[in-house]
A and B are shown apart, each in its own frame.
Chain A
């Protein structure tokens, strides 16, 4: 099949049986690859009500037809599973070089099933596939072990692995790769950990069949050329995602002290230019990236190095914890990476605990004697460690995520547990940004930003406006942006360099031999979006409208400080947003796809 490796690898960890099957052409036609494959296999193969931490759950790792090809940033790999954090659909994207290498082994998906009786790692060298003993690796940090594995097998092998966080069952453990890239969200690393798979090590040397080699060369070159000629390339490369830190502070979107405000008085020292000057050593990119956004940093005070921090980590480990020092933020980033936990959820969990402590809901007896106040970086470092080790008490509790932690602690702390559907909200404060708030409320994995980043649209249209155009914009972004994770390429060239997305169409056609306009691709995006919604409903009794509600902080508690002081979205507007959203999506007033919608999207076979 043109554009594909051609095979799906199944690894039954319980029995150790390894099988390969051809990539089904119909699934490739209707779901294309990457995140589309993940959603399809999850729904079809993981039985209803499977325990996310049990043998029935699967970890589905997929590349897309653009992965590993001569296309800008063609290194995006999708990890899909039933989330141990939310109990719903989880899909996390990993950059770097893993997916390209995986494609060259001839694999489009790797499906990990069952539970291994002992720690193992999956070793793949083209057609050689083996489960090998990983007992001696268990307990090791991701950066330490990746270096060891590269040393043992050679630089051309790519490694995806978990740290102690995943081994110990932290609900938001990450899967790490390339010394600083993560599939971070939703607990994909937790599932890998419970399956006792410490690492996947692979190398591929096979070529990928292409429908029209000359057309592919031309279309690929055209994409690289527009990236190289883009006006903002130099700034993007200089600052990466940290371009937005100062801007978020300026517009009241920088999460501050557990999202109680959107501007941080100590923000200046965590802005992009300060970071560039103070700690960045060099730029770092993923496979085939013409605009490397990764920054490799050295923290003098700690004499340590890290890839990052990128904006999300700066927001969640910096301002959200009241920490205004870029070296401290970078050090927190390093600890999370080595221990294999998501920086966003970890930052949110610690922010929630700091607020509990300052309000007297938690005391020193609960915090292992730590003065867990906003701004205390050393206490935050200690808590990261305790979360990853699941230390009895607060560490283990925070490792379950803020939703469950707040349910257990109570005393009003549920009101400031900042999550949707159990996933901690990423780093945009949404007190008065209704499109972005809706994007978080309706995101398919919980409160994550990358499906629909609508905050500039709020500023363009009027941030408190609750109008159908905003809802339409969110839906369009949700259908379209995740298609990059289906195709297996980075979306940031389109996002940041504003390259013409139509340039991807001839490239995809030349590679796969199938013409698909963006209209066609958006329809597939909509199909996957609805399928993931059906999955949530299937796995959670009573799933519906109340699951889409944001944290009350965004409709009950206007910030007291910063540029959004006194501003808030009214509860009735939150409800109106949902009404309009469901109507435009073709869903019922409870937020479930109607029969007609499922038929239109050729999803009738998945209806209950």
Chain B
């Protein structure tokens, strides 16, 4: 029962530069970010299966979650 998290850009540094990582589904995205050590406040946009979702979204089996942050700034 898992979902895939794909952090964009500089957020990759939180998962050792990998492109994606598997997490358990059945938890909220915020909880999953906490386990991965990604500070949820720096995530600007969450896209789950091509749809924008809030950070308290409950992860479903097979979800692909893209995380966009603006680390370098505007």
Contact = CB atoms under 8 A, between A and B. Distances in A.
Interface of A: 230-232, 235-236, 239, 241, 243-244, 246-247, 250-251, 272-273, 311-312, 449-450, 452-456, 459-460, 477, 481, 491, 494-498
Interface string B57-74: 000000000101111111
A481 B68 CA distance: 20
A554 B41 CA distance: 21
A456 B38 CA distance: 12
Interface residues of B, number: 23
A247 B8 contact: no
Given A231-B66, A239-B45, A459-B39, A495 B8 contact: no
A235 B47 contact: yes
Interface of B: 6-10, 12, 19, 39, 41-45, 47, 52, 66, 68-74
B39 A496 contact: no
Contacts of A246: 44-45
B73 A456 contact: yes
Contacts of B9: 230-232, 496-498
A506 to B, nearest CB: 21
B45 A454 contact: no
Given A231-B8, A231-B66, A460-B39, A495 B45 contact: no
B19 A231 contact: yes
B41 A459 contact: yes
Given A244-B44, A247-B44, 7 more contacts: A231-B7, A232-B9, A232-B68, A243-B44, A459-B42, A495-B72, A496-B72
What DSSP secondary structure best describes chain B's contact surface? mixed
B69 to A, nearest CB: 7
B52 A243 contact: no
B28 to A, nearest CB: 16
9 contacts: A231-B19, A232-B8, A235-B45, A236-B68, A243-B45, A244-B74, A456-B73, A496-B70, A497-B9
Contacts of A453: 70, 72-74
B32 to A, nearest CB: 18
Nearest to A236: B68
A481 B74 CA distance: 11
A272 B70 CA distance: 14
A470 to B, nearest CB: 14
Nearest to B20: A231
B17 to A, nearest CB: 11
Contact of A243 (B10, B12, B41, B70): B70
A477 B73 contact: yes
B70 A495 contact: yes
A246 B42 CA distance: 12
A453 B72 CA distance: 7
Please list the 8 inter-chain residue pairs (A to B) with the smallest Cβ-Cβ separation, ordered nearest first. Answer: A453-B73, A498-B9, A232-B8, A495-B72, A231-B8, A247-B44, A459-B41, A498-B10
